[in-house]
Amino acid sequence: MDLFNFEKKIFQISNQSDFEKLAIKLFNYQITHNIVYKKYCKLLGCTASKIKRVEQIPFMPIDFFKTEKVLCKNTTPNHFFLSSGTTSEKKSKHYIHSLKLYEKTISNSFEKFWGKINNYRFFCLTPKKEEAPNSSLVHMCDFFVKKTKNLKSGFYLKKTKQLIDDIKISQQNNQVFILIGLSFAILDFAQKNNIDLHGGHVIETGGMKNTRKEMIREELYKILKEKFKINSIQSEYGMTELLSQSYSLKNGDFESPPWKKIFIRDKLNPLKINNLSSGGVNIIDLSNIYSCAFLATEDFGRVNKNKFKILGRLKNSSLRGCSTMI
């Protein structure tokens, strides 16, 4: 398979047929070249010849990233991302063949739903890149800051006064801004400061676990809207093991770019897909060319046409949450 050409094609997907053709093509490549995924499919009795439809593709448990080197043969990684967690927890490690590919997914995912990155000023409530060099979230925020070429974009996790001052300057200059970062950090900022965020947007990226009483997204939205005096809160859904992001512009309904699809596992048979019910979330991310594009996550959710909701975590799943970076 011409991988360079495949990288181009995933960003040119315009319909379901395009997606399915490329998904089957990538499956055939990864079942051959990814030793970990190949072994998993063999355990299920699955061979490439048996797969005719996307729904038949096996989804590998995401926990494999904690114990195995999930990487296709003849691939040389130039970076890796680690999931957040306590020192005693086993962390996921995602080997990255190309940071340029990751940055292309960041850019294309964001601009599909938000428009040009350089239309915004980014205020990031995350650590800086040098403080968390192996965080995919921090790398994304760093990319936003550099892409805007705006001197007032930056990292404000421990710069509350400067953040408030720069938000007010943006409002005075009618500069649209985005406050983006860890849910816990945004909530903490909201509760400690009485500030009106009119003219801006808030994108929470998750990360409430291990910090305080865990809060459902609706409860978080309610508090943030009241504190910031705005009508809506936006969310980003991504993870260490995936290169692509999904966004919720309102009501917690997430949408994905054309090269990423969400499926729901059947409650009685987790190896089957049942999008008519709620259940475990499976994801196909075609930008995961060099690792594994077909993943069974520990999230619990439901789909409705082209949108999906994350309802929580599956019981007995390991804790995740970027809040441990703080």
Q: Which of 138, 139, 181, 188 is nearest to 160 (CA)?
A: 188
* Alpha helical stretches, state H, the chain: 3-10, 16-33, 35-43, 64-67, 99-114, 136-148, 160-172, 183-192, 217-228
Tell me, what's the pLDDT at 151? 73
Q: Report strand pairing: 200-204 vs 234-237.
A: parallel
**Residues 259-272 pLDDT 10s:** 999 999 998 899 99
Tell me, what's the pLDDT at 316? 65
Q: How far apart are CA 115 and CA 147, in angstroms?
A: 13
**Residues 203-230 pLDDT 10s:** 999 876 555 566 788 899 999 999 999 9
Tell me, what's the pLDDT at 26? 98
By percentage, how much of the chain surpasses pLDDT 90? 85
Tell me, what's the pLDDT at 318? 46
- DSSP letter at 268 equals S
Residue matched to tokens 């909701």 = 309
Task: Retrieve residue 130's tokens.
Answer: 């040098």
Domains annotated on the chain, with CATH: 1-326 (3.40.50.12780)
**Residues 179-205 pLDDT 10s:** 999 999 999 999 999 899 999 999 999
Tell me, what's the pLDDT at 325? 38
Q: How far apart are CA 93 and CA 55, in angstroms?
A: 27
Tell me, what's the pLDDT at 326? 39
Continuous segment of H or E residues that includes residue 122: strand 121-125
All residue ranges of the chain with pLDDT < 70 are 85-88, 208-214, 316-326
Q: How far apart are CA 222 and CA 26, in angstroms?
A: 41
Tell me, what's the pLDDT at 212? 53
Which residues fall within 8 angstroms of residue 70, CB to CB, at 6 or more apart?
34, 36, 37, 60, 64, 94, 95, 241, 291, 292
Number of alpha carbons in the 13 Å side-chain half-sphere of residue 145: 22
Q: Which of 67, 9, 6, 27 is nearest to 293 (CA)?
A: 27
Residue-wise burial string across 71-108, b where 16 or more C-beta atoms lie within 10 A, e elsewhere = bbeebeeeebbbbbbeeeeebbbbbbbbeebbbbbbbb
